């Protein structure tokens, strides 16, 4: 961990709640700005070579966020993610989201060959994790994939690490 904030604070403790609110406001203003800068720097380090790779990942995530996961929508999403992983093999999110999508597809009963889907998902999960094992967003995607594969202890470990890096991640908190 990095040192983000320190300040001497002298105040009349007559209204303890007002003092507490003021201290919290100062901390969040100072630390929040530094965390945003750190997140921006991190995001600049992990980017796709091709914008269409990012688009494929965003479309897949949209399926999860809109509850549109169905036998009709998933084959197209899987095709786009597979092509994106081939096109941009060093972009960790495409592998992690592809693994998550494949595990979701198979565990939802939509797969016609769940063993092959689980095998392919495991391959992409390993690649995605290896490429960005300390990135909070990638840890979220990997944790979600592990959760859908039934490996809850590993999912909890990765999601806990994701939250340590980004304690305000609503998605990680949901899992």
pLDDT tens per residue across span 35-77: 445 544 554 455 566 678 888 888 888 877 776 777 788 888 8
> With contact defined as beta carbons under 8 Å apart, do 105 and 78 qualify?
yes
In whole angstroms, give the CA distance from residue 36 to residue 56: 25
How confident is the model at residue 89, as a pLDDT?
94
Q: For 85, phi and psi rounded to 5 degrees? A: -65, -35
Place of tokens 């750190």: 38
How confident is the model at residue 36, as a pLDDT?
47
* DSSP alpha helix (H) spans, 46-151: 51-65, 74-87, 92-107, 114-131, 136-148
How confident is the model at residue 22, as a pLDDT?
75
In whole angstroms, give the CA distance from residue 60 to residue 141: 12
**Which parts of the chain have pLDDT scores under 70?**
1-16, 24-25, 27-50, 67
- Estimate to the nearest angstrom the gap between the alpha carbon of 23 and the chain centroid: 30
- Estimate to the nearest angstrom the gap between the alpha carbon of 53 and the chain centroid: 16
- Estimate to the nearest angstrom the gap between the alpha carbon of 143 and the chain centroid: 8
Place of tokens 């992690």: 96
How confident is the model at residue 32, as a pLDDT?
56
């Amino acid at each position: 961990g990095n040192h983000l904030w320190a300040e001497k604070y002298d105040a009349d403790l007559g209204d303890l709640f007002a003092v507490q609110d003021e201290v919290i406001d100062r901390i969040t203003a100072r630390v929040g700005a530094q965390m945003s800068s750190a997140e921006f720097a991190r995001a600049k380090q992990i980017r796709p070579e091709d914008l269409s790779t990012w688009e494929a990942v965003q479309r897949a995530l949209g399926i999860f966020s809109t509850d549109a996961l169905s036998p009709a929508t998933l084959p197209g999403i899987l095709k786009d993610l597979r092509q994106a992983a081939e096109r941009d093999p060093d972009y960790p999110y495409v592998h992690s989201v592809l693994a998550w999508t494949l595990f979701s597809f198979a565990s939802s009963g939509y797969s016609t060959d769940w063993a092959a889907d689980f095998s392919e998902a495991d391959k992409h999960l390993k690649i995605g994790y290896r490429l960005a094992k300390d990135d909070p967003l990638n840890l979220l995607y990997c944790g979600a994939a592990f959760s859908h594969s039934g490996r809850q202890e590993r999912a909890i470990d990765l999601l806990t690490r994701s939250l340590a890096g980004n304690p305000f991640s609503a998605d990680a908190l949901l899992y």
